[in-house]
Amino acid sequence: MKQRIFKFLADLRFAIAILLIIACFSIIGTVIEQDQSIETYKINYPLTNQVFGFLSWDIILKFGFDHVYKTWWFISLVLLFGLSLLTCTVLQQLPALKVSRRCQFFRTIQPFKRLLIFRKLRNKNFQQLLFNIKQRNYSIFQQKNIIYCYKGLIGRIAPIVVHFSMILILVGAIIGSVSGFKAQEIVPKTETFHIQNILNTGQLSIIPNYSARVNDFWITYTSQNTIKQFYSDLSILNTNGNEIDRQTIFVNSPGRSNGINYYQTDWNLLGLRLQNNNGTILQYPLINLNPAKEKIWLTWVPTTSMLNNGLIFLIDNLQGYCSIYDEIGQFLGNLELNETFTPTFPITLIDIISSTGLQIKTDPGIPLIYTGFFFLMLSTLISYITYSQIWIVEDKQLIFIGGNTTRATFDFEIEFFKLLK
């Protein structure tokens, strides 16, 4: 009974079926947004107008389609596929490798007829033939008049390496899904933050008790005034608040410290810091009226004690200036940092208060996944090494010679006929 179960697990058809099921659920996890709020699914997948006629938010939540890669059934499928690969390696690939290493002598003429190439030679110099085979890096084994030769045995290891690499990738993916986490923080410049806004976590995730400080945030622009890059200067702090690391991150260049990755994702403007003619520092909040479409912020700065009289400050970039309009929307001019505006009343722009959007995540399975892909690429190179075999039997004045190869049949035939010249 055990043998039947193991043979069933090691069957290629079973492994392909499991892989197709995993692929189908992965497609679902790609199409349906993962780890979103319930309100998001209620808006995008309503009960009244179901997507595809059957898909609604209650079905998504019931079957776990909102977190496909963390569900017990998806992890079980991955484990089952890994078990199938491991069983196939132990029951089929390793024994096949052992057989390839053995000396497989042909003691009769009949097996030659089943080979890819077979020739019968007369008056051939037997020693010269062996010398030609040795020159082509074949390993030669001889028992009197019976010869067995092979080369490229390392090519037989490629399937084992493929299985090993895929198992590493699967294990790394499971470790990452059950013990990783992802958080999103919007942090004002010069402020310290802790990891609090958790978007998703695994069943075994542990949120580290580290904090960080945003020392500075800035944006570089092209000559056409379009955004070129975002930068955040971060200090990583220990539990006592002391700096243990400092890094400048930008888009596509995250920071890494204590196994935690910090990604630059977004930005925002929070307010303007102004100084009036009395030397008093005033701070006014900036409001984005349409954050979904464009980043344009404005604020109202009263010029008298009556709040209905004042100026409109508008800003759409972080190049160090803002535009000023009067109460009826007439443009009055631009105000740069440390510049004083005097048409109506003296006011100086001290600072533009900005915030940076950071995505904080950890994935302990990444090293295993990268290692698995490295071995997968290595196995691809190894698989190009052809495993070739040659058998020779000397019978009186006749020499029977034949050969087989695992791939590159045409090249092997050319090499074989060169041996006979």
Confidence of residue 292 (pLDDT cuts 50, 70, 90): low
* pLDDT at 214 (0 to 100): 93
* pLDDT at 343 (0 to 100): 64
Tell me which DSSP letter residue 10 carries.
Answer: H
d(CA 198, CA 319): 32
Tell me which DSSP letter residue 153 carries.
Answer: G
Among 233, 240, 254, 178, CA closest to 209: 240
- For residues 257 and 246, the answer to whether their CB atoms sit within 8 Å is no
Mean pLDDT across 145-171: 89
CATH of 103-152+386-420, one of 3.90.105, 3.30.310, 3.40.630, 2.170.120: 3.30.310
pLDDT in tens, 241-268: 889 999 999 998 999 988 889 999 989 9
- For residues 175 and 364, the answer to whether their CB atoms sit within 8 Å is yes
Mean pLDDT across 281-302: 85
Q: Which pair of tokens denotes residue 358?
A: 């950071």
Mean pLDDT across 208-222: 89
d(CA 24, CA 142): 53
Looking at residue 346, its amino acid is: P
Angle, helices 2-10/12-31, rounded to nearest 10 degrees: 60
Percentage, residues of the chain above pLDDT 90: 25
Q: Which helix (H) or strand (E) holds 244?
A: strand 243-250
Mean pLDDT across 347-370: 91
Which residue ranges make up each domain of the chain?
Answer: 2-95, 103-152+386-420, 181-362
Q: Please name the residues in contact with 366: beta carbons below 8 A apart, sequence gap of 6 or more.
A: 172, 176
Q: Is the pLDDT of residue 8 over 90?
A: no
- For residues 77 and 22, the answer to whether their CB atoms sit within 8 Å is yes
Q: Which pair of tokens denotes residue 204?
A: 């075994």
Among 250, 259, 253, CA closest to 357: 250
Say which range, 119-133, 160-174, 203-217, 376-390, has the weakest mean pLDDT.
119-133
d(CA 383, CA 138): 18
Mean pLDDT across 296-303: 88
The DSSP bridge pattern shows strands 388-395 and 146-151 to be: antiparallel
- How many other CB atoms sit within 10 Å of the CB of residue 174? 20
* pLDDT at 105 (0 to 100): 85
Mean pLDDT across 147-171: 89
Confidence of residue 375 (pLDDT cuts 50, 70, 90): very high
Confidence of residue 216 (pLDDT cuts 50, 70, 90): very high
d(CA 204, CA 181): 10
d(CA 393, CA 388): 17
d(CA 132, CA 172): 48
Contacts 24+ apart (CB under 8 A), 291-299: 295/269, 297/269, 299/271, 299/272
Could you list the beta-strand ranges (E) of 286-336.
287-288, 297-302, 310-315, 321-325, 331-336
Average pLDDT, the chain: 87
Confidence of residue 123 (pLDDT cuts 50, 70, 90): low
Mean pLDDT across 121-139: 83
Among 62, 73, 72, 68, CA closest to 32: 68
Confidence of residue 165 (pLDDT cuts 50, 70, 90): very high
Say which range, 93-102, 130-139, 208-217, has the weakest mean pLDDT.
93-102
Q: Is the pLDDT of residue 367 over 80?
A: yes
DSSP letters of 78-115? Answer: HHHHHHHHHHHIIIIIHHHHHHHHS-----SSGGGGGS
- b/e string for 333-372 if b means 16 or more Cβ within 10 A? eebeeeeebeeeeebbbebbbbbbbbbbbbbbbbebbeeb
